[in-house]
A and B are shown apart, each in its own frame.
Chain A
Amino acid sequence: MTEISALKAGLLADIDNADTLDAVEALRVGAMGKNGVVTGLLKTLGSMSPEERLAKGPPIQDLRESVTAALAEKKAALEQAALDARLASERIDMTLPADIGPQGSVHPVSQVMDELAEIFADLGFSVATGPEIEDDWHNFTALNIPETHPARAMHDTFYFPDADDGKKMLLRTHTSPVQIRTMTAAPPPIRIIAPGRVYRSDSDATHTPMFHQIEGLVIDKGITLGHLKWTLETFLKAFFEREDIVLRLRPSYFPFTEPSVEVDVGYTLVNGQRVIGGDGDAPDGGWLEVLGSGMVNRRVIEACGLDPDEWQGFAFGTGVDRLAMLKYGMNDLRAFFDGDLRWLRHYGFSALDVPTLSGGIGA
Chain B
Amino acid sequence: MKFTLSWLKDHLDTDADLATILKTLNDIGLEVEDVENPAEKLAAFRIARVLTAERHPQADKLQVLTVDPGDGQPLQVVCGAPNARAGLVGVFGTEGAVVPANGMVLKKTAIRGVESNGMMCSARELELGEDHDGIIELAEDAPVGQVYAAWAGLDDPVIDVSITPNRQDCMGVRGIARDLAAAGLGTLKPLAIPVIEGTGPGPDVRTDDMQGCPAFFARTVRGVTNGQSPEWMARRLKAIGQKPISTLVDITNYLMIDLGRPLHVYDMAALKGGLVARKGRSGEEVLALNGKTYAVDETMTVIADDAAVHDIGGIMGGEHSGATDATTDVLIECAWFTPERIAITGQKLQLTSDARGRFERGVDPAFLDDGLSIATDLVVKLCGGTPSEPTRAGEPPLAPRTLRYDPAQCLALAGVEVAADEQKRILASLGFGVAGDAGAWTITVPTWRRDVDGWPDIVEEVVRIVGLDKVPSTPLPRAPGVARPTATAEQMVERRVRRTAAARGLAEAINWSFLSEKEAASVGGGDWTLANPISEDLKVMRPSLLPGLLSATRRNMDRGAASVRLFELGRRYFAGQKEGSWERATVGFVLAGEKTPRGWQSGKAQPFAAHDAKAEVTALLAAAGAPVANLQNFGEASGAYHPGQSGTLRLGPKTVLAEYGVLHPGLARQFGLTGAVVAGEIFLDAIPAKRRTGFMRAPYAPPALQAVKRDFAFLVPEAMEADTLVRAVRNADKKAIVEARLFDVFAGPGVEQGCKSLAIEVTLQPGEKSFSQEELDAISGAVVKAAEKLGGTLRG
Residues of B within 8 Å of A222, CB to CB, are 412
- Beyond the given A102-B565, A336-B510, A345-B507, please list 15 additional residue pairs across the A-B interface where CB-CB is below 8 A: A104-B505, A106-B502, A120-B486, A121-B485, A147-B344, A151-B165, A171-B530, A209-B538, A224-B413, A225-B415, A337-B510, A337-B511, A339-B555, A340-B559, A354-B499
Given contacts A230-B473, A344-B509, contact A148 B340 (CB under 8 A): yes
Q: Which residues of B contact A169 (CB under 8 A)?
A: 528, 580-581
Cβ contact within 8 Å between B412 and A127: no
A104 to B500: give the CA distance in the assembly, Å.
Answer: 9
Contact of B529 among A122, A131, A152, A161 (CB under 8 A): A161
- Measured CB to CB, the closest approach of chain A to B787, in angstroms, equals 37
A53 within 8 A of B: no
B498 interface contact, C-beta 8 A: yes
Taking a contact as CB atoms closer than 8 A, the residue among A129, A149, A351 that contacts B499 in the complex is: A351
A295 at the interface (CB under 8 A from B): yes
In the bound assembly, the distance between CA atoms of A169 and B561 in angstroms comes to 40
A82 at the interface (CB under 8 A from B): no
Instruction: Find the A residue at minimum CB distance from B554.
Output: A339
A-B contact pairs, 5 of them (CB 8 A): A133-B580, A135-B580, A152-B343, A160-B529, A339-B556
Q: How many residues of B contact A (CB 8 A)?
A: 103
Cα distance, A114 to B469, chains bound together (Å): 31
Question: Any chain A CB within 8 A of the CB of B566?
Answer: yes
Decide: A297 and B456 in contact? CB cutoff 8 A.
yes
Chain B residues, CB < 8 A from A345: 507
- In Å, the complex CA distance between A148 and B356 comes to 13
Interface size grouping (class) on chain A: 35 or more
Q: Which residues of A line the B interface, CB within 8 A?
A: 96-97, 99, 101-107, 109-110, 114, 117, 120-127, 129, 131-133, 135, 147-154, 158-161, 165, 167, 169, 171, 191, 197, 199, 201-203, 209-210, 218, 222-227, 229-231, 233-234, 248-253, 258-262, 295, 297-298, 312, 336-342, 344-345, 348-352, 354
B343 and A131 form a contact (CB under 8 A): no
Interface centre among A124, A209, A258, A339 (most CB of B within 10 A): A339
Inter-chain contact B531/A160, CB cutoff 8 Å: yes
B468 touches A110 (CB 8 A): no
User: Quick check: A104 and B476 within 8 Å, CB to CB?
Assistant: no
Cβ of A149 and Cβ of B343 under 8 Å apart? yes
Judged by DSSP, the binding face of B is: mixed
Partner of B474, one of A97, A199, A227, A354: A227
Residues of B within 8 A of A231 (CB): 476
Give Cα A210 to B416, complex, Å. Answer: 38
Whether, in the assembled complex, B533 has its beta carbon less than 8 Å from a beta carbon of chain A, the answer is yes
By the criterion CB–CB under 8 Å, are B573 and A226 in contact? Answer: no
Is B579 an interface position by the 8 A CB rule?
A: yes
Q: In the complex, A135 Cα to B576 Cα: how many Å?
A: 13
B471 at the interface (CB under 8 A from A): yes
**Looking across the interface, which residue of chain A has its beta carbon closest to that of B512?**
A210
A117 touches B486 (CB 8 A): yes
The answer to whether A158 and B415 have CB atoms under 8 Å apart is: no
B534 at the interface (CB under 8 A from A): yes
| Chain B 545-566 near chain A by CB (<8 Å), digits 1 or 0 | 0001101110110010101111
The one of A106, A132, A203 in contact with B513, judged by C-beta atoms closer than 8 angstroms, is A132
Q: Interface stretch among B26-34, B39-47, B188-196, B708-716?
A: B26-34
Which single member of A161, A226, A230 contacts B531 (CB below 8 Å)? A161
Chain B contacts with A in 504-518, Cβ cutoff 8 A = 504-514
The reply to whether A252 and B512 form a contact with Cβ atoms under 8 Å apart is: no
B339 sits at the interface (CB 8 A): yes
Other-chain residue from A124, A250, A258 in contact with B468 (beta carbon distance below 8 A): A250
In this complex, the member of A149, A225, A345 whose beta carbon has the largest number of chain B beta carbons within 10 angstroms is A225
Complex-state Cα separation, A252 to B488, whole angstroms: 34
Which of chain B's residues have a CB closer than 8 A to the CB of A344?
507-509
Q: Which of A224, A261, A297 contacts B412 (CB 8 A)?
A: A224
| B630 at interface by CB-CB < 8 Å | no
Query: Which chain B residues border A126 with CB–CB below 8 Å?
Result: 486-488
Q: Are B473 and A233 in contact (CB under 8 A)?
A: yes
Q: Which residue of B lies closest to A93 (CB)?
A: B600
Q: Do residues A167 and B532 form an inter-chain contact, with CB atoms below 8 A?
A: no
Give B contacts to A, CB under 8 Å.
Answer: 26-29, 31, 164-167, 339-341, 343-344, 346-347, 360-361, 411-416, 454, 456-457, 459-460, 463-464, 468-469, 471-476, 478-479, 483-488, 490-491, 495, 498-514, 528-534, 538, 541, 548-549, 551-553, 555-556, 559, 561, 563-566, 569-571, 573, 579-581, 583, 596-597, 599-602
> A295 contacts B456, CB within 8 Å?
yes
Cβ contact of B511, chosen from A122, A227, A251, A339, cutoff 8 A: A339
Contact in complex: A103, B505 (CB < 8 Å): yes
Bound complex: CA of A161 vs CA of B164, how far in Å?
Answer: 30
Q: How far is the CA of A230 from the CA of B473 in the complex (A)?
A: 5
* B347 and A153 contact, CB distance less than 8 A: yes
Q: Considering the complex of A and B, which 10 residue pairs feature the smallest CB-CB distances, nearest first?
A: A339-B552, A102-B505, A226-B415, A224-B415, A251-B29, A226-B474, A253-B164, A259-B460, A251-B464, A339-B509
> What residue of chain B has the Cβ atom nearest to residue A342's Cβ?
B559
The interface centre, meaning the residue of A123, A218, A233, A354 with most chain B CB atoms within 10 A of its CB, is A123
Assuming the contacts A158-B533, A161-B529, asked whether A114 and B508 have C-beta atoms less than 8 A apart, the reply is no
* Closest Cβ–Cβ distance, residue B519 to chain A (whole Å): 15
Please name the residue on chain A nearest to B566 by beta carbon: A339
- List B contacts of A226 (CB < 8 A): 414-416, 471-474
State A114–B502 Cα separation when bound (angstroms): 15
Complex: A351 Cα to B620 Cα, angstroms:
14
Which chain A residues lie closer than 8 Å to B457 at the CB level?
258
Chain B residues with CB below 8 A from A341, complex form: 507, 556, 561, 564, 566
Please name all residues of chain A whose beta carbon is closer than 8 Å to the beta carbon of B463 when the two chains form the complex. 225, 251, 259
CB atoms of A124 and B502 under 8 A apart: no
Beyond A131-B583, A159-B531, A340-B559, is A348–B508 a contact (Cβ under 8 Å)? yes
Residues of A within 8 A of B413 (CB): 224-225, 259, 295, 312
- Distance in angstroms from B412 CB to nearest chain A CB is 7
Which residues of the other chain, B, contact A229 by a CB distance below 8 angstroms? 415, 468, 471-474
Expressed in whole angstroms, the Cα–Cα distance for A110 and B505 within the complex equals 16
The complex places the Cα of A117 from the Cα of B569 at a distance, in Å, of 17
In the bound complex, CA of A131 to CA of B485 (Å): 23
Instruction: Please state if B501 and A124 are interface contacts (CB–CB under 8 Å).
Output: no
Q: How far apart sit A250 and B460, CA to CA, in the bound complex (Å)?
A: 11
Query: A209 CA to B510 CA in the complex, in Å?
Result: 13
- Chain B nearest CB from A109 CB (Å) reads 6
Check B460–A258 contact: CB distance below 8 A: yes
Contact flag A117-B552 (CB < 8 Å), given A227-B476, A261-B468? no
Contacts of B508 in A (CB 8 A): 104-107, 110, 344, 348
A66 shortest CB reach to chain B, Å: 48
B397 to chain A, nearest CB (A): 16
Q: How far is the CA of A233 from the CA of B473 in the complex (A)?
A: 8
| Min CB gap A287→B, angstroms | 9
Given contacts A133-B583, A148-B343, A351-B499, contact A260 B460 (CB under 8 A): yes
| Chain A residues with CB below 8 A from B566, complex form | 339, 341
Bound complex: CA of A251 vs CA of B346, how far in Å?
27
Cα distance, A355 to B484, chains bound together (Å): 16
Say yes or no: B583 contacts A105, CB within 8 Å.
Answer: no
Distance in Å from the Cβ of A273 to the closest Cβ of chain B? 22
Residues from chain A with a CB closer than 8 A to the CB of B472 are 226, 229
- A121, A135, A147, A229: most-surrounded residue (chain B CB, <10 A): A229
Chain A min CB distance to B682 (Å) = 16
Partner of A123, one of B476, B503, B507, B530: B476
Chain A residue contacts of B551, Cβ below 8 A: 339
In the assembled complex, how far is the CB of residue B541 from the closest CB belonging to chain A, in whole angstroms? Answer: 7
A127 engages B487 (CB within 8 Å): yes
B564 touches A210 (CB 8 A): no
Most buried by B among A97, A99, A135, A312: A99
Q: Please judge, given known A-B contacts A226-B416, A251-B463, A350-B502, whether A159 and B530 are in contact too, CB under 8 Å.
A: yes
B340 touches A124 (CB 8 A): no
Residues of A contacting B164 in the complex (Cβ-Cβ under 8 angstroms): 252-253
